[in-house]
Every structure is written in structure tokens, then in C-alpha cells.
């Protein structure tokens, strides 16, 4: 990514992008479900639900950031086709970076000011209590990770102007927005698989790919196992115990040792 300038990446985006690609799979979705809201999201994009028309007196300034790292993250979004140069004025939000476990950074758009004009969308991450009541003893588990899942779902064209930001005197806007609550609209139809065997894993993977999602091989575990790490816990279906990963335990012990010195 470092060898390209943002202008060059913009030119490359149309040749190496998957952003919003789910719209290419409308026929497959129409076979899979008849839910009008789901089909509308797939075919026309995710629509923001407004309480009133958004307005702002002046755009929010960006936080102080490492310019090289921010170039990399915006360049990645351009190459994926998730972000493009804006064609006109819109609602400007600030951006900032937060570190990831990999050592890289994740780009975040701060939509706090925009949310004042939007209908509140309830969203609950799948957690320990849900998993605890879902799995059964001695069950075989697998994990399919969707690569940039939220970015495969486009934003409704008329609403993209409300998802703009500035970087280096250039106005950009999101064509795909990586907010998890709009992916959850499709979750019941695309993600509700209990992979209890190799055949089920294959069926789940095949279905997800047929619907336009991309499976991350690096983060997936396709061979059924009775011990698997998920949402930050190690799940053992033989003992029915949920424990912290060894690295996390080691990190906590290290922090405790430092605190006691």
C-alpha cells in the first residue's frame, strides 16, 4: 500500500475492489428470502433513517493523527471501493485512528453529530450469554469469518453525501459504511448456521459465497473441532468450559506484576 499515492489508488480502485459487491447477487438473495426490507437493502443499499434533515454550521476537525498511517487506511478504503472522492457538498464528520492487535490502525469516522439527526438503531453484539445457551455439550464447532463484511453492503446513493470526511484538502464519502448494525439486518438470513459437521461447514460457506460474501481463510476454522476461540473466549464443548486464551491470561498476569511492583 505504501508504494502508491492516494491519487494512484483512486485510479486502481475500479480494478481491485469488492466494496458494495452484494448488489451483484440480488437474484441469489431473491431466491433465499422474500423479506422486502432485506431485498431492498441488497438491491438499493442501506438507507439512513432520519428524524430530520441533517445540517451543520461547520465541519468537525480531524484529530491529530499519523499522516502516513492515515494515508494507508484511506488508501485501503479507496482500493476496496468503499470510499470515493465526493462529487458535491454534504455532511462532514471527523476521522481518527485506533490501534489494532496486528500493529496496524483502524480508521474510525466519528458520526456523533450526524447521529443527532438519525433514528436510533438498536444493536447488540453476540456475547457470552448468547453463545452459552446456543451450543450443546460435545458439539463440533467451526468458524467462518466474513472479510470486511459490512463493506460488501452499499449505502443508498442518495444518502452517501451524509457520510463525508476531509483528508488533505480532499472531500471523500463512503459508498459502503462499516457499521455493524446494518449488517445485522441480513444476519438472520446469511449467518445463522450451526456448523455441526464438515458437510454443514461446506453448506454454510457455499451459501455465504453464493450471496456475495467473501470468506477470510486466515481467520476461519473450517475443520470441526470441540475447542475453538470465539469472541475472546476459548470454548470447550467437552467440558462446557469458557476460558480466556493463554495469551490474554499472560498479558493480565504481566499487568498485575507491573502494578504490584
CATH number, domain containing residue 101: 3.10.10.10
- Is 159 among the domain residues? yes
Q: What is the DSSP letter of 33?
A: -
pLDDT in tens, 8-38: 444 444 434 556 788 899 999 999 889 898 8
**227, 234 Cβ separation under 8 angstroms:** yes
Lowest mean pLDDT among 12-21, 102-111, 128-137: 12-21
Once rounded to an integer, what is the mean pLDDT over residues 46-66? 85
**Taking a C-beta distance cutoff of 8 angstroms, is the pair 166, 230 a contact?**
no
Residues 6 or more apart whose Cβ sits within 8 Å of residue 210: 25, 28
**183, 46 in Cβ contact below 8 A?**
no
DSSP class of residue 60 equals: P
- Whether 228 is in a domain gets the answer no
Q: Which of 60, 47, 54 is nearest to 96 (CA)?
A: 60
Q: Report CA 234 to chain centroid distance, whole Å.
A: 22
- SS3 state of residue 143: strand
Is the CB of residue 153 less than 8 Å from the CB of residue 160? Answer: no
Pairwise pLDDT comparison (124 vs 50), residue with the higher score = 50
Is 185 a member of any domain?
yes
The domain in which residue 10 lies consists of 6-126+151-189
pLDDT in tens, 235-253: 999 999 999 999 999 999 9
> What is the per-residue pLDDT for 198?
79
Interhelix angle 36-44/180-190, rounded to 10 degrees, is 120
Q: List CB contacts of 148: < 8 A, sequence separation 6 or more.
A: 18, 80, 82, 178, 214
Number of domains the chain is built from: 1
Q: 0.85 exceeded by the pTM?
A: no
Q: Is residue 131 part of a domain?
A: no
Residue 165 lies in a domain: yes
Three-state DSSP state, 205 = helix
Which grid cell is 187?
444476519
Amino acid at each position: 500500500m505504501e508504494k502508491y499515492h492516494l491519487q494512484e489508488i483512486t485510479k486502481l480502485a475500479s480494478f481491485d475492489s469488492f466494496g458494495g459487491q452484494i448488489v451483484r447477487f440480488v437474484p441469489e438473495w431473491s431466491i433465499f428470502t422474500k423479506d422486502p426490507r432485506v431485498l431492498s437493502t441488497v438491491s438499493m443499499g442501506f438507507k439512513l433513517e432520519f428524524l430530520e434533515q441533517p445540517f451543520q454550521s461547520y465541519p468537525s476537525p480531524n484529530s491529530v493523527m499519523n499522516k502516513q498511517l492515515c494515508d494507508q487506511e484511506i488508501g485501503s478504503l479507496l482500493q476496496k471501493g468503499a470510499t470515493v472522492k465526493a462529487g458535491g457538498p454534504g455532511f462532514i464528520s471527523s476521522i481518527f485512528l485506533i490501534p489494532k492487535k496486528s500493529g496496524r490502525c483502524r480508521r474510525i469516522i466519528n458520526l456523533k453529530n450526524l447521529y443527532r439527526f438519525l433514528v436510533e438503531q438498536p444493536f447488540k453484539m453476540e456475547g457470552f450469554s448468547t453463545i452459552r445457551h446456543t451450543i450443546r455439550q460435545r458439539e463440533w464447532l467451526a468458524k467462518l469469518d466474513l472479510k470486511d463484511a459490512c463493506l460488501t453492503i452499499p449505502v443508498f446513493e442518495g444518502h452517501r453525501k451524509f457520510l463525508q470526511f476531509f483528508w488533505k484538502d480532499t472531500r471523500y464519502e463512503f459508498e459502503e459504511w462499516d457499521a455493524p448494525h446494518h449488517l445485522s439486518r441480513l444476519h438472520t438470513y446469511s449467518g445463522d448456521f450451526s456448523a455441526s459437521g464438515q458437510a454443514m461447514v461446506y453448506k454454510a460457506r457455499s451459501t455465504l459465497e453464493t450471496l456475495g460474501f467473501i470468506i477470510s481463510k486466515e481467520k476461519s476454522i473450517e475443520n470441526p473441532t470441540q475447542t475453538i476461540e470465539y469472541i475472546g473466549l476459548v470454548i470447550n464443548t467437552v467440558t462446557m468450559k469458557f476460558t480466556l486464551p493463554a495469551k490474554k491470561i499472560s498479558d493480565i498476569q504481566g499487568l498485575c506484576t507491573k502494578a504490584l511492583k
